[in-house]
Structure 1
Amino acid sequence: MTKKYIGTKEILAWGQEKDGKPGYAVKYPDGYISWSPKDVFEAAYRKCEGTGQHLTFGDAIHFLGQGKKVARAGWDGKGMFLFLVPGSTFKVNRPPLLGIYPEGTDINYRPHIDLKGIDGSISTWNPTCNDVLAEDWLIVE
């Protein structure tokens, strides 16, 4: 019985005609190369480097998980971006946690997303509905 699937993979591609039809040559991570018609390719893939990126929030989360930095094209601040802070465990040794827990208490610091602001400050970040629905996310260097 057939079932539906959805997946995310990074590929290399370049414009290439086949039998006079526009399309793309596609190179997969294992080295396999195939060809895809332009409309089929553009419905399945989004550019994720350089100019012209238009990633979804889901794409942005995927790339954050790979250690990449992401931003919205529409953000006004140059140099603003998000990054994933991995979780860690540490022992309490200074305020403000020292005023809440005894010194030496193990703290489970959960993973979260931080924002680097235009002034260089770092703060925790939570998406708005606009962020989640936007398709102007991009990977930044």
Structure 2
Amino acid sequence: MNFEEVLPLLKQGKKALRSGWNGKGMFVVRQKGYPEGIKCNKQTAEAWNLNEGDLFKVHPYLQIKNADGTHAMWVPSIGDIFAEDWEIVE
């Protein structure tokens, strides 16, 4: 699959990976974000110079599960966008 094919499936809640990625267990998901807002915790408040509990609005975003089990916000590289080795995780 290519990225154009996998993006709608991510929007439907599917998990996707590239067979060309070196790390085992890695995959990408779409996170819905918090378009109506969520009360920010202490860490977020300090990072954005807000008060703990202030409303923090977050648009949808992509998130990756890394090979070491950690998670991070993710933006596809040019290589990811033009790759033809995307797969859906079942």
Per the alignment, in what secondary structure is the counterpart of residue 95 of structure 1?
A: helix
Secondary structure of the residue aligned to 2:17 is strand
Q: Indicate the structure (1 or 2) with the bigger Cα radius of gyration.
A: 1
- 1:87-126 alignment runs, 5 A limit: 87-88=33-34, 89-98=37-46, 100-126=49-75
What displacement does 1:118 show? 1.0
Q: Which one has a larger percent helix, Structure 1 or Structure 2?
A: 2
Which residues of 2 match residues 1-141 of structure 1 at below 5 A?
Answer: 55-88=1-34, 89-98=37-46, 100-141=49-90
TM-score in terms of structure 2 length: 0.87
Query: Any gaps of 5 or more consecutive residues in structure 1?
Result: 1-54
Kindly provide the amino acid, as one letter, of the partner of residue 110 in structure 1. Answer: H
Listed one character per residue, the Cα deviations across residues 25-69 of structure 1 (whole Å, up to 9, x for unaligned) are xxxxxxxxxxxxxxxxxxxxxxxxxxxxxx110111111001000
Return the letter of the residue paired with 1:85. Answer: Q
Name the structure where strand makes up a greater proportion of residues. Answer: 2
- Tell whether the 8 Å contact from 1:92 to 1:98 is kept in structure 2 after alignment: no
Aligned-pair identity in percent equals: 38
TM-score where L is the length of structure 1: 0.57
RMSD: 1.4
Count of residues in correspondence between the two structures: 87
